[in-house]
Chain A
Amino acid sequence: MSAPVATEPLLSVRDLHVSYPTDAGRLPAVRGVSLDLAPGDTLGLAGESGCGKSSLAGALLRLLPRGARVSGEVLLEGEDVLTMKPGRLRAVRWSGMAIVFQGALHSLNPVQRIGGQIGEAIELHPSDRKGKTSTRVGELLELVGLPARRARDYPHQLSGGQRQRVLIALALACDPKLLVADEPTTALDVMVQAQILRLLDDLQERLGLATLFITHDLSTLVAACRQLAVMYAGRIVEEGPSEEVFAHPKHPYTRALAAAFPVIGDPAFRRNPSGLAGDPPDPRELPTGCTFHPRCPVARDACTSLDVELWPAGDRRRAACIEVLPA
């Protein structure tokens, strides 16, 4: 993978907040996230359940349920998605950025042929492409490694991995510049997971597609993405080039998360499972100071009151921890 030349970011998220109404008041899911993604680049967003990563993905395309409150900016090629008029938003969804969710089984209409579903997406979004829809459907299926004749199949005739390929074809129907992949391989088997990851990597290279890859699986992200951002309790707590973040984490949470993915063959992990005591915090009762301090193995007194923001922590790296603050 070659490093993209520094350009204007394709996607720029600025101070994004997402909260949901509950009986007990508003529940903050995303609490001030900023990130940039250059054209053709890959960014992995890692985090555990409840850290806000899927809310973030939903906010990018304005797909969150009614009642969700979103603030901040989501700039796609400089244009704020959050303030777009409905017509413009419809054009940007699919052709600007498209999303692939986990659970391919449930995202497809079970009583409509695959080709019809992809064709619908193509026709809803006028493009300057010439030619028949059915030809384009065939091209898209072949692009994701399925024979064009599969267009006549119903979802139940496909395996899990094939359905996930169809969802990727669907996302690519209108030539998006950015693909948001939210746990695209989680429900799949290891071998099929490897097939899908290879496909995404291949598409990214061939189409110059930028990818925001969201999963709890840190090791997959490191293999698939150039950049990595780690989320905890609604914020990014560490970011930087993925190999370096994984190999030399600066934030104690990243350190614990990296240690939870054993390196096969490494004696340090043999008969030595490693985890973190406790559970991620309840967003309704966030700890004071650094939200990670109750689980942090190296917490100091100051951590109960000091809420550290992302701070430079070496070349192209930042971390939100008192340890990286200048003395």
Chain B
Amino acid sequence: MSAPLLELRDLHVQFRNRNGSIARAVDGVDLQLAEGEVLALVGESGCGKTTLARTIVGLERPVSGEVRHRDAPLRYDRKGSKAYRRQVQMVFQDPSGSLNPRQTVYEAVAEGLRIHGLGEGEEERVAGALARSGLRPPERFFTRYPYELSGGQRQRVVIAGAMVLEPSLLVADEPVSSLDASVRGEILALMQRLVQETGVTILVVTHDLGLAWNIADRIAVMYLGRIVEQGTTEQVLGAPQHPYTRALLSVVPESHNMDPQILVGEAPDPTRIPPGCRFHLRCPLYASGEAERLGIADRCQGEDPTLPAGEHVAACHAVPDREGAPA
């Protein structure tokens, strides 16, 4: 396998609350993204997925660990971060909030080019990016303002503004969750097409497993600051290993054939991560006594499971370390 496009090594990101407590939003993440792949990072709100995305694009600084892009560590000085930000672009959830209401479509897309001193052939580049994003003919959109566009068209403008810089990585945080269902598929199809046409790598942050089934090559499931399961989309959604993934999958209305395992409570507090397995207090295996029967309950309480190396892996004491090993 060639070197990954992006690599996260034991990444930790923390925030200090007003009361002095420390939220461990990202709490030891190792992750690799290969060139041209689509990886879905899924989890409940508060699991740290947005913080992880922001750290990848350089908007947050880790307290330890590193972000490596094409085998070079991300630098946080001005020059280093500017070069990096051209390579790594972010698309946010709400396109209306990402666009300046007083800026035309042309200005919005050209802005990135100007910041990065790429003024040459500006009009062609803007037109090309708009056309690639499905706004055709592009000239018709140049002088439009955001309020004249539909939600789907606005998200296309945001994507064009990111793609005009020809980035190697697009980080999309819930890119379609504010859009209508009928429009959502069109934007996902666009993202898929961009990967095929430009070879861009996409990290899509979402709570929507259906979206992952639609477009992702691989899935990483995040819980309380840690990746608890990862594998190909078929592996993770077809044969989930971690009880958290199984629970998430079981409550999707489209998964009719699973008994819903509704976890009690909401995602716990990153300022108070439970000792042992961080999931054990909500874990159906632990609560039902299954962990006790398997003889692992003590480890669930006292030992923090790590994510083993491998294609499809889960950080759970109930899952054998190597595929094929007896449980």
Contacts and interface: CB of A to CB of B under 8 A. Distances in A.
B267 A273 contact: no
Contact of B180 (A194, A195, A269, A280): A280
A247 to B, nearest CB: 11
B237 A265 contact: yes
User: Is chain B's binding surface mostly helix, strand, loop or mixed?
Assistant: helix
B45 A273 contact: no
Interface string B166-194: 00000000000000111111111100100
B180 A216 contact: yes
Interface in B200-240: 207, 209-211, 213-215, 233, 237-238
B63 interface: no
B262 interface: yes
Contact of A48 (B181, B251, B252, B267): B181
Contacts of B58: none
A195 B261 CA distance: 10
B55 to A, nearest CB: 22
B254 A195 contact: no
Contacts of A121: none
Contacts of B248: 190-191
Q: Could you say which of A49, A193, A295 has the most chain B C-beta atoms within 10 Å of its C-beta?
A: A49
Contacts, number: 119
A161 B266 CA distance: 8
A116 interface: no
A134 interface: no
Contact of A191 (B183, B185, B214, B247): B247
Interface in A174-210: 189-195, 198
Given A190-B252, A194-B251, A262 B213 contact: yes
Contact of B45 (A189, A194, A275): A189
Interface stretch (A87-95, A219-227, A233-241): A219-227
27 contacts: A161-B266, A189-B266, A190-B248, A191-B248, A191-B262, A191-B263, A194-B251, A217-B253, A218-B181, A219-B252, A260-B181, A262-B210, A262-B254, A265-B213, A265-B255, A270-B214, A271-B214, A273-B184, A273-B185, A273-B186, A275-B187, A275-B188, A276-B182, A276-B185, A279-B153, A279-B180, A279-B183
Interface of B: 44-45, 150-153, 180-189, 192, 207, 209-211, 213-215, 233, 237-238, 247-249, 251-255, 260, 262-264, 266-267
Interface of A: 48-49, 159-161, 189-195, 198, 216-220, 222-223, 256-257, 259-265, 269-277, 279-280, 295
Q: Which 7 A-B pairs have the closest CB atoms?
A: A275-B185, A273-B188, A194-B251, A275-B186, A276-B182, A48-B180, A219-B253
